[in-house]
Amino acid sequence: MRLSPPKKIIVEQKVVDSPLVEQVKRNLPQVPVEVVSHWKDFPGNDPDVLEIVSFRGRLLKSCPGTKHYLCCGYQILHFGTQCTLDCTYCILQAYLNQASLRLFGNEEEIFQALLQELRQNPDTLYRIGTGEFTDSLLLDPWTGFSRRIVPLFARQSNAVLELKTKTDFVENLQGLNHGGRTLIGWSLNTRSVQLTEEPRTASIKQRLAAAQRVSQWGYFLTFHFDPMVEHKDWRQGYRETLEEVFQAVDPSRIVWISLGAFRFMPQLKPIVQRRHPRTRILYGEFITGLDQKMRYFRDIRVELYSFMWEIIRKADPRLCVYLCMESEDIWKEAMGFSPAQKGGLARMLDDAVQRKMSIGLHCSRSAPCQHEPS
Q: What pLDDT digit, counting tens, does each position of 39-94 carry? A: 777 777 888 999 999 988 777 777 655 656 666 778 999 899 999 999 999 999 98
Alpha-carbon span 3 to 7, nearest angstrom: 12
Report DSSP state, residue 105: -
- For the chain, percent of residues with pLDDT exceeding 90: 79
Question: What value, to the nearest 5°, has the Cα angle with vertex 168 and ends 59 and 268?
Answer: 60
pLDDT value, residue 70: 67
Of 88-102, 154-168, 288-302, 346-360, the least confident: 346-360
Mean pLDDT of the chain: 91
pLDDT value, residue 61: 73
Domain extents for the chain? Answer: 58-360
Backbone φ and ψ for 282, nearest 5 degrees, come out as -85, -5
Given a contact cutoff of 8 angstroms between Cβ atoms, the answer to whether 225 and 259 are in contact is: yes
Mean pLDDT of 240-256: 97
Alpha-carbon span 293 to 263, nearest angstrom: 6
pLDDT value, residue 39: 75
CATH of 58-360, one of 3.40.50.10210, 3.40.50.720, 1.20.120.1730, 3.80.30.30: 3.80.30.30
pLDDT value, residue 67: 57
Mean pLDDT of 262-268: 95
pLDDT at position 37 over 60:
yes
Alpha-carbon span 6 to 31, nearest angstrom: 7
SS3 109: helix
pLDDT at position 303 over 50:
yes
Q: Count CB neighbours of 367 within 10 A.
A: 10
pLDDT value, residue 367: 40
Alpha-carbon span 200 to 210, nearest angstrom: 17
For the chain, how many helices (H) and strands (E)? Answer: 12, 16
pLDDT value, residue 71: 66
How does residue 369 score in pLDDT terms, banded at 50, 70 and 90? very low
pLDDT value, residue 131: 73
pLDDT value, residue 64: 59
pLDDT at position 137 over 50:
yes
Mean pLDDT of 194-217: 98
Mean pLDDT of 351-372: 55
pLDDT value, residue 374: 26
pLDDT value, residue 373: 30
**Predicted structure pTM score:** 0.92
